[in-house]
Amino acid sequence: MTVLETRSLTKKYRRITALHELDLSIESGMVFGLLGPNGSGKTTTLGLLLGVLQATSGDFSWFDEAPSADSRKRIGAILETPCFYPYLSAEENLRVACRIKECHESNIDRVLEIVGLLDRKKDPFKTYSLGMKQRLAIGSALLSDPEVLILDEPTNGLDPEGIVEIRDLIRYIAKSGKTIILASHLLDEVQKVCTHFAVLRRGEKLYQGGVIDTLIDQSTIDIAAAEMEELRSVVQQLDEITSWSDQGEFLKLTVKPGTRTEDINRKLIESGVILSLLAEKPGSLESQFLKILNES
């Protein structure tokens, strides 16, 4: 099922084009990352999708229908900084959110348990760390059990421990089958939690694809042996290897799609070479991101 589709979605502020003819298609169950530097149009895109901003041209649909009050109820979202009453507890703040969202207060303990704050529900919001505040915001977005969760820079400003907590929480929520759309400028975050992503720059979409599909072509295999000269000689004769580079103490191989490390190991053993190092290195979203920017 197509959860979201945008068609030539455009937002202009006088002479400034914040978003230019954006085409996106997001399917149910995806964890979709909008990736790009500050000012690339990520938050503008989310604002348009949530009805906070009005598009200059183009349109979009949620759940194969025109956006409406009913479709908005199926979406939970956090845009920018979480906003709660500082002197109220987490439980009290979520009671307020329940009234706004018109959902039952029985959901409060459920979402607090999901975000790991059930044992702190009586504590004032002002006593929470930044990571706890962000987790409470995610809990608030989950109160109505939405099908789609939208997060704008969910780890922005957090320390390393807080980043890991939010990352693990997003993975946990994704396992429940919810579709998650998040905006981030952190390449590592997108690579570790997203299934698909799009790259934006200056309001333009430069790329859209699956994380695994994008990175699989970048994976390499490092190999070494006691007899490096013999290894170099044999490597040049293997059809499975598309290219290789000499790193001194080891060789870095690029292989044909579908070639496994055990295939390379078997071929080398058949040629009389015993490896002392055999390690597959996954691709990096950072290098692919830079490649996309350079090509554009």
Residue 283 has a pLDDT of 67
10 Å Cβ neighbour count for 1?
A: 9
CATH number of the domain residue 15 falls in: 3.40.50.300
Q: What is the mean pLDDT of residues 188-195?
A: 87
Residue 217 has a pLDDT of 61
The pLDDT tens digits for 65-84 are 999 988 988 999 998 777 89
pLDDT at 296 over 70: no
SS3 (DSSP) at 186 = coil
Element (H, E) at 107: helix 107-114
Domain count of the fold of the chain: 2
Residue 286 has a pLDDT of 67
Task: Please choose, from the candidates 113, 91, 22, the residue with its C-alpha nearest in 3D space to the C-alpha of residue 60.
Answer: 22
**In angstroms, rounded to a whole number, what is the distance separating the alpha carbons of residues 187 and 66?**
32
The pLDDT tens digits for 174-183 are 999 999 999 9
Q: Which of 211, 227, 246 is the last residue of a domain?
A: 211
pLDDT at 269 over 70: yes
Question: CB-based contacts of 50: which residues, under 8 Å, 6+ apart?
Answer: 72, 75, 77, 79, 150
Q: Are residues 149 and 91 in the same domain?
A: yes
**In angstroms, rounded to a whole number, what is the distance separating the alpha carbons of residues 189 and 33?**
9
Task: Give the long-range contacts of residues 267-270, CB within 8 A, separation 24 or more.
Answer: 267/238, 267/240, 268/223, 268/225, 268/231, 268/234, 268/238
pLDDT at 266 over 70: yes
Residue 287 has a pLDDT of 67
Q: Are residues 200 and 238 in the same domain?
A: no
The pLDDT tens digits for 32-46 are 999 988 889 999 999
pLDDT category at 151 given cuts 50, 70, 90 is: very high
pLDDT at 280 over 90: no
Residue 232's domain spans which residues? 217-286
Q: Are residues 175 and 265 in the same domain?
A: no
Given the structure tokens 């964890």, which residue do they identify? 31
pTM above 0.95, yes or no: no
pLDDT category at 214 given cuts 50, 70, 90 is: confident
Residue 295 has a pLDDT of 66
Q: Are residues 94 and 125 in the same domain?
A: yes
Q: Are residues 117 and 237 in the same domain?
A: no
Does residue 11 lie in a domain region? yes
pLDDT category at 285 given cuts 50, 70, 90 is: low
Q: Are residues 157 and 248 in the same domain?
A: no
SS3 (DSSP) at 162 = helix
Q: Are residues 86 and 120 in the same domain?
A: yes
Does residue 203 lie in a domain region? yes
Q: What is the mean pLDDT of residues 137-163?
A: 92
Q: Are residues 15 and 116 in the same domain?
A: yes
Q: What is the mean pLDDT of residues 49-67?
A: 94
8 Å CB contact between 28 and 3? yes
Q: Are residues 101 and 21 in the same domain?
A: yes
Q: Which of 155, 182, 211 is the last residue of a domain?
A: 211
Average pLDDT of the residues of the chain: 90
Q: Are residues 248 and 131 in the same domain?
A: no
DSSP label of 53: S
